[in-house]
Amino acid sequence: MSDPIIIIGAGAAGIGAALECAARGAPYLVLEASDRIGGRAYTAASGLPGAWDHGCHWLHCADVNPLVAWADQLGATYRTAEVANPYQIWTDGAFVGASDVHAYDAAVTAAFDAVERSGRDVPIPEVLPDAGRWTPAVRQILALMAGEDAARVSAAGYADYADTGQNWPVLSGYGAFIGAMAAGLSIRTGITVRAITQRSNGATVITDQGALNASGVIVTVSTGVLASGAIGFGPGPAADLVAKIGDIPCGAYEKVAFAMDVLPPELHGTRFLSIQQAGADLATSFQIIPGAAPMMLCHVAGDTARALTAAGPAALTDYAQGALVQAFGAGISERIVGTATTGWTENPLILGSYSQARPGAAQLRRDLIAADTGCVAFAGEAFSLHWQSTAHGAYQSGRDVAARMTPLS
């Protein structure tokens, strides 16, 4: 029997690659360093009354997203329509009225339109129109969508993402159904890949538990992990690609989850809260999850996320809670019945949020995605051009690379 294709990482891309190999009857094995499946797709309670998505949550480009069919097949629930009044905004000491919410929405739309139109490989802020009083909120939304401060992200690189404007939250947990997609697949968890050596007719994969021969290798780890040197690459085209991956870094994006006994009345019927504190460059964003176990999730990206994560979970929590106290008063703290935080930036198996092309590196990213690296190939969110940074982009890139590696006779 021929050596298997070895797939490194059991996130959305690794699962996609494994499903493609299985569908084609090609021998394969997925090696995953952590003790769980899903990577950045992870739904867990982490000590709170209800489970929540630590990583991906929205089915982006939902009208064309191939994971929607999987969600349906696996009984996942998601919301397809936006609520009537999704946003609540607090600025200058008060919650604003409907016309200001409309102005904020228009400023956000104008910013994204400008990025999409510009085509310039420069830092995003260079192509933005003046958003006036909404500047901190617009910068914050851009940072969350890019997974990094806008100043570190190429406008042209960001615009390679083909947004359809349909974003559906997975109410039952995005990570939960991605994990369920892996049922029956050949995956070994708790095994860390240390090095890959390309040979003329395959590759050798060195793990912490010995060496394995492979007919081909599909590497799906984040660009943060690739750039860290945690996996050594023997000389060859794969090593040449990895040497350039530092210009497609993995940003920073963390969440702070507050379980609430009740939501503040101001938030009834809304889904997003933006708090603009006086003098702050960035607004503080919250996602509102109503229901029997209501939650408020603070989303933090870029340098703010990096600094707070480095300072520890208490610093992240204090930052988010401090913003809530500004907007609702000290009494809000008594409504919080549990807190939890993510730690993607410091997790050695992820080392960040998701990928962005640095200013000047938009074409490099396109070239790296198109590069032929032989029997050691790359998949994952960073290797999807039009669906970059997303779970469905990761999944599809895994499927595509596995299909290329296992041509049907």
Ligand X SMILES: Cc1cc2nc3c(=O)[nH]c(=O)nc-3n(C[C@H](O)[C@H](O)[C@H](O)COP(=O)(O)OP(=O)(O)OC[C@H]3O[C@@H](n4cnc5c(N)ncnc54)[C@H](O)[C@@H]3O)c2cc1C
Residue ranges binding ligand X (CB under 6 A): 8-14, 31-34, 39-41, 55-58, 60, 192-193, 220-222, 225, 230-231, 253, 255, 344, 349-350, 353-354, 380-381, 389-392, 394
Cβ-based nearer residue to ligand X, 112 or 328: 112
Closest CA to 38 of 11, 13, 58, 8: 11
For residue 119, give both structure tokens.
Answer: 């085509």
Cβ-based nearer residue to ligand X, 198 or 220: 220
Cβ-based nearer residue to ligand X, 87 or 354: 354
The DSSP secondary-structure symbol of 389 reads: T
Question: In the complex, what is the shortest distance from the CB of residue 146 to ligand X, in angstroms, rounded to a whole number?
Answer: 11
Cβ-based nearer residue to ligand X, 122 or 195: 195
The DSSP secondary-structure symbol of 170 reads: B
Question: In the complex, what is the shortest distance from the CB of residue 148 to ligand X, in angstroms, rounded to a whole number?
Answer: 11
Q: Three-class SS of residue 360? A: coil
- Angle CA(282)–CA(284)–CA(290) in degrees, nearest 5? 155
Closest CA to 260 of 178, 160, 182, 337: 337
Question: In the complex, what is the shortest distance from the CB of residue 250 to ligand X, in angstroms, rounded to a whole number?
Answer: 9
Whole-angstrom Cα distance, residue 356 to residue 388?
8
Sign of CA dihedral 244, 250, 251, 252: negative
Question: In the complex, what is the shortest distance from the CB of residue 240 to ligand X, in angstroms, rounded to a whole number?
Answer: 20
Query: Could you identify the residue written with the tokens 């790359």?
Result: 378
Question: In the complex, what is the shortest distance from the CB of residue 79 to ligand X, in angstroms, rounded to a whole number?
Answer: 13
CB burial string 86-96: b at 16+ within 10 A, e below:
ebbbbbeeebb
For residue 352, give both structure tokens.
Answer: 């960040």
Whole-angstrom Cα distance, residue 331 to residue 189?
45
Read off φ and ψ for residue 90, nearest 5 degrees.
Answer: -115, 125
Q: How many C-beta atoms lie closer than 10 Å to residue 399's C-beta?
A: 21
Question: In the complex, what is the shortest distance from the CB of residue 181 to ligand X, in angstroms, rounded to a whole number?
Answer: 12
- Rama region for 374: left / alpha / beta (φ>0; ψ in -120 to 50; rest): left
The answer to whether 42 and 175 have CB atoms below 8 angstroms apart is yes
Give the burial class of 164: count Cβ atoms within 10 A of its Cβ; 0-12 exposed, 13-18 middle, 19 or more buried: exposed
Sign of CA dihedral 46, 54, 313, 323: negative
Alpha helices (H) in 25-88, listed in sequence order: 67-73
Whole-angstrom Cα distance, residue 328 to residue 34?
40
